[in-house]
Amino acid sequence: MAEGAAVAPKGGCGSARGVCKGGLQAALDEARAEHSDKRLTLWFVDEARFGQKGRVCHRWFTRGERPPGLCDQRYSWTHLFAAVRPATGEAFALVLPEVSVKAMNEFLTRFAATLAEDEHAVMVLDRAGWHTAKKLVIPSNVALVWLPPYSPEINPVERIWLYLREKHWSHRLLDTGDAIVDALCRAWNALTPERLRSLTSYPYLKQVKI
């Protein structure tokens, strides 16, 4: 569990809307109309599981020699919740022990507490059960926009998971839960805004007016 406490933003509940028919631009226009006194920012959200069960990848090695290929088969894990703003490379992440409505509420509360007073964040995410549950508490300075079903390829955060697993999670052994959390935090904190912009600036986002 991430350390520290965040203060929930003042005000009522935020809002949630779909994005299938009107598209992302329509959702942004609606959010702008509802919060005309705020500065809109566009974020993408996702979660991923990281644990002991490892992976192998291509690697450079001495010609004629076979490189070692460590791959753990144990099953301890944790989860990384992340929000990324492709336009700037800004990001916010929490390591949490589970994916659940409780975990998502904590993530949203802590994320919302980092926003400027004049900012309203539009957060695009998939339709996982903990994203759409009735018990989900949406902060007043956040609006959730759900992606069309079964479309992970249009969520830019997915590329960050691929990068982290290839760059930081291949050919390694992690013996304890603390080691998993430490390795995950180090991997995430090594990401620069430039790298995040490179990974998440999908071409279709250039057509979106914020």
- 53-85: per-residue pLDDT in tens? 665 555 555 787 766 666 666 566 689 999 999
Q: Residue 132: inside a domain, yes or no? A: yes
pLDDT at 176: 80
Domain-embedded: residue 130: yes
Is the CB of residue 35 less than 8 Å from the CB of residue 120? yes
The token pair at 90 is 């800004």
Comparing CA positions, the residue from 16, 21, 25 lying closest to residue 148 is: 21
Asked if the structure places residue 2 within a domain, the reply is no
Radius of gyration of the chain (CA): 18
Look at residue 1 in the predicted model and tell me its pLDDT: 39
> 145 lies in a domain?
yes
What mean pLDDT, rounded, does the chain reach?
84
Q: Domain containing 137: what range?
A: 15-55+69-205
Task: Indicate which CATH number applies to the domain containing 132.
Answer: 3.30.420.10
pLDDT for the residue 81? 98
Domain count, the chain: 1
Q: What DSSP designation does 67 have?
A: P
The pLDDT value given to residue 61: 56
What does the pLDDT read at residue 183? 87
pTM of the full structure: 0.82
**Positions of the chain with pLDDT under 50:** 1-13, 20
pLDDT at 73: 64
In a domain, residue 5? The reply is: no
Is position 63 within any domain? no
> How high is the pLDDT of residue 177?
72
